[in-house]
Chains A and B, each alone.
Chain A
Amino acid sequence: MGPTGDAVNVIQIHPTLRCNLRCQHCYSSSSPEASAELPVELLEEFLSEVGEEGFNAVGISGGEPLTYGPLPRLLASARGHGLFTSVTTNGSLATRSRLEAISPHLSLLAISIDGAEASHDALRGAGSFERMLRHLPDVRVAQVPFGFIFTLTQNNLHELAGAAEVAVAQGASMLQIHPLERVGRAREYTLFPPDDVELAYAFMEVARLQTQYAGRLVFQLDVADRPLIEREPCRAFAVPTPGLAEIEAMPLASLVSPLVVQEDGWVVPIQHGFGNDFRIARLGRGSFRSQAARWKREQYPRFLELTRNVWDDLRDAPEHLPFTNWYAAVTERSRSQCA
């Protein structure tokens, strides 16, 4: 159940908020000054339990994951537990030696690109586009499948075609288009998330590009499709609350996915910065599974009430605007409900 389906149940880990860049749109407000990081031993212990709860994929984000010293050890641990692995990086630190250390344990490397060089550098700092491009030959040598991620704003859809051109030229296998969320540092700048009108235009543009690059590049647009949720409400957790016995019997991944491990050790549903009242567990405070069991009993009904309310708000949009940013809507609502 949930927006990413039943086949791949994902846990996104933010082991550190340290980053060599200070991007204007960073949802986790990462920066070179951020020093907090999670001990790898805690994460390894956590990973040893998540399979039993039905999770089978781990995405490492941050901060910049390549600044996290134990990253190869963390990825190896995930692989050792049979989990798929991905790393999200700004690409500017993807040196050959770092790639050699992680590539044996990696299913996919996701590299950020925010349009043409001028736009990318305006968001991420001067020279960051060039530094990212410079390391792509090493990515190809490492034979790691890789893709690009484009952050869609209200103002930059016209640069998506250029990003696709770069992706194809560089041998990427996918281009993910993710709407900007006005959280973290993005709130401090004049950056606008795409509204539902712009998301509709984005859908048309992605369809055009998918046709143009058929067989060479696969596009992924992270928007919720209202008619689809209407048909299959479980995709947005817009379902009645099951009985307690049924909840307790199900693995956590069947109830909520994705999960996020924040740099402060809290495990939360759906998104970094999700409302504190919905936190599931904290690493280092005993078994994850026992904390998850308590969350299922005590908090899951409230979580479903939240997601049903979000869907009630979203479903009344005009028919000609079928797409919306569900992650932003549910996260904002979760935060507003907290004391």
Chain B
Amino acid sequence: MAAKKDMRGSSKLFDLAHNDHAGFARAIAAARQDFQVKWWWKYGQPKIDFIRATLEVDSRSLGAVVSEVMHLNHAGIQTTLEAFPNGLPNPEVFRLELKIQKPV
């Protein structure tokens, strides 16, 4: 892929010159009203907003897993959890439907 370092992709989008420091500061401050970086992740790893999972846990582990999942609520995110017992009347396995997202 032939490319040059000075062929900025941004040059096709913005009139703002990259040496206009004050203009940059104003533009970024404005952009921060619409978007914020809170965490930075690795390639292919989703931030927390998108976690949705079905977990199957045995009855002995259920308490610990639920406790751990609910602990996530302390990190500024909302966690909802529904448990479905498999094997009534003596459930041995629970299916947990889990959804985690940041509060809007």
Contacts and interface: CB of A to CB of B under 8 A. Distances in A.
Nearest to A325: B40
Given A56-B68, A178-B43, A327-B40, A158 B49 contact: no
B8 A189 contact: no
Contacts, number: 205
Given A107-B51, A200-B24, A204-B31, A4 B9 contact: no
Interface in B36-66: 36-57, 61, 65
Contacts of A336: none
B35 A86 contact: no
A197 B18 contact: yes
Nearest to A115: B9
A84 B31 CA distance: 32
A149 B2 CA distance: 22
A166 interface: no
A10 interface: yes
A101 B81 CA distance: 25
A12 interface: yes
Nearest to A321: B24
B10 A201 contact: yes
A219 B12 CA distance: 21
B51 A228 contact: no
A72 interface: no
A208 B34 contact: yes
A27 B44 CA distance: 13
Contact of B1 (A160, A190, A198): A190
B60 to A, nearest CB: 13
A204 B18 CA distance: 13
B13 A191 contact: no
Contacts of B46: 86, 108, 110, 147, 174, 176, 220
A5 interface: yes
A7 B40 contact: no
A61 interface: yes
A145 B72 CA distance: 21
Interface residues of B, number: 54
A219 B37 contact: no
Interface residues of A, number: 83
B9 A153 contact: yes
B13 A82 contact: no
B40 to A, nearest CB: 5
A3 B80 CA distance: 24
Which among B44, B53, B57 has the greatest number of chain A C-beta atoms within 10 A? B44
B43 A88 contact: yes
Contact of A154 (B5, B27, B65): B5
B45 A4 contact: yes
Contacts of A61: 43-44
Which among B39, B56, B68, B77 has the greatest number of chain A C-beta atoms within 10 A? B39
Contacts of A56: 68
A220 B25 contact: no
18 contacts: A4-B41, A5-B39, A7-B77, A8-B72, A79-B54, A110-B45, A145-B52, A149-B44, A201-B8, A203-B28, A203-B35, A210-B34, A221-B35, A221-B37, A224-B40, A225-B37, A319-B25, A321-B24
Given A56-B68, A191-B1, A201-B18, 12 more contacts: A12-B44, A12-B45, A86-B44, A107-B52, A107-B53, A110-B44, A110-B45, A149-B44, A154-B9, A155-B4, A157-B13, A222-B40
* Interchain residue pairs A-B with the least CB separation, the first 7: A88-B44, A157-B9, A201-B10, A7-B75, A207-B31, A207-B35, A158-B12
Interface of B: 1-5, 7-10, 12-14, 16, 18, 21-22, 24-25, 27-28, 31-57, 61, 65, 68, 72, 75-77
